[in-house]
Structure 1
Amino acid sequence: MTVRYAANKDVQIAYEVLGDPATGVPLLLIMGLDYQMVWWPDEFCEQLVAAGFAVVRFDNRDTGLSTHFAKGDSYTGNDMVDDALAVLDAVGWSDANVFGGSLGAAIGQALALLHPERVRSLVSVMGTPVTAGTLRTLRYVRFGTVAKLARLPKAATREQEIDNLVTVYRTVASPGYPFPEDWARHVATLSHDRHPRDPGTTVRQNAASRRFTVPALSTLTRPTVVIAGADDPLVRPVAGRDTARQIPGATFVSYPGMGHNLPEELWPDIIERTRAVAR
């Protein structure tokens, strides 16, 4: 796939298009904290295209092939919303269905709140309410998992960096489904070779996740599905339930055995729900 670039002022956002953006139903995928767009599985994207969507995925600022920031720099969640708008503009879409995971779920919610004319529908996955505030958001997080990730050994070689990426994914993955070992190692390698992970990105994006300026979720008017993993090791599923409760007419889905990733076994149902809300 060809990597293209959208510009938000002096920030360049790398993105890819799967399917025909002129004829497919527009679907924008927004990735989570410190993950590159390649962590959206190619086969998942291809199945979305087969279901009639044109899919666009992108590297959030500070990740992958997009503009990276230096120590001491900062940005807000609203800046990341503007990045998503820049991608829509670059593709030539006046609006799109939005599918966001983890931090991407918050960005998707904010996009629908701030620019409802650009959002046809919203699928918010593995996320917390964008309006929760710092203290409430902390109550949604499982800090045992955060502490486990913080104890990862500092990598000194390329192989150790890749091992750490696989370990992170394994730690948050779905306990009720087989771990995709070969795929995770392949994508960890690809991710590292595109751009090695910068620990500063985690700090800056965590800070950005607490810096959204948006109206109340009760004002969100787009058709919405909220998906949570009932066994998410990182974010408590009540976060998704609280998100859906605040959005008028939203549907809440909690999958047993699902963690903080999208198990291949659930793709058919997730894709069908995405098609349904897009309709």
Structure 2
Amino acid sequence: MTAYRFVAALGLLGVSGCAGVQKTPPATTATVRFTSQMHHTDCDIVAAARPLADAQAVDCGEARGPEERLKTKACVEAAEAAGKPFIAVFHLPGIDSAIAQALLRATHGERIQLWYDSSPSGGPGRDRSFISRKACERFVQDPEDEETLRCESPPEAAATYVCRGTEYALGAPQSASGLRCSPIQRYIPGVFNCAWKKAAEDYEPVPPGTALACMKQETEPFRCSSTPEADAVMGLRFEREPPPGTSPEAGP
């Protein structure tokens, strides 16, 4: 995975959230839920992309080598020029992981990019893989790769995960009154290191009304999230419930 593509992959995620732990009126209590089950998924970008293609879409193929990618790119450009729907899959060169993208255009003009990375941090295996989906305004030439195109969309456009290599379920909520946390700003807002006792000077009690989801592990600190966006980055797949005494419409 090249440094450029790693940054691009992170940009695709469009993650947003509060700068700190979400707060609600002090009358409510803080809760925490720990991971209770884990399962693995074999993320397959072709399998994820095919159902999104229109029945009449031009099939520009699945390109793996340089010549195939140039041919597939030309097919996409021709379909775009003719205003036709299409589907194309590009397997892209990476340094320490496998990366790929699928580009699609629907009959009514909607453009979609799916992005796959087998290991965002690099290394073998696919247990940390993901596929994300993003809406695009247009497909343009990739300035760092003449063999492919890239998705162009407004900076505020968000992407969503459609597959994670490892996903978790959560146990029942319990009191977080004894928990202390510290934000991990170098990752994304809403992700924290937490422990049941004071582990560092910058660890603080969890504000009332917070609903944390945490990775269960034997040692402290453990990783926690406080927003649905952070849950997705950690691979937590579940319907987040509002903290007790709060309204679903309550903001951060």
Q: Flag whether TM exceeds 0.5 (same fold).
A: no
TM-score category of the 2 structures, normalised to the smaller one: under 0.3
Question: RCO higher in 1 or 2 (8 Å CA, sep ≥ 6)?
Answer: 2
Normalising to structure 2: TM-score of the pair? Answer: 0.25
Return the index of the structure with the highest Cα Rg.
Answer: 2
TM-score scaled by length of structure 1:
0.23
* Higher-strand-fraction structure: 2
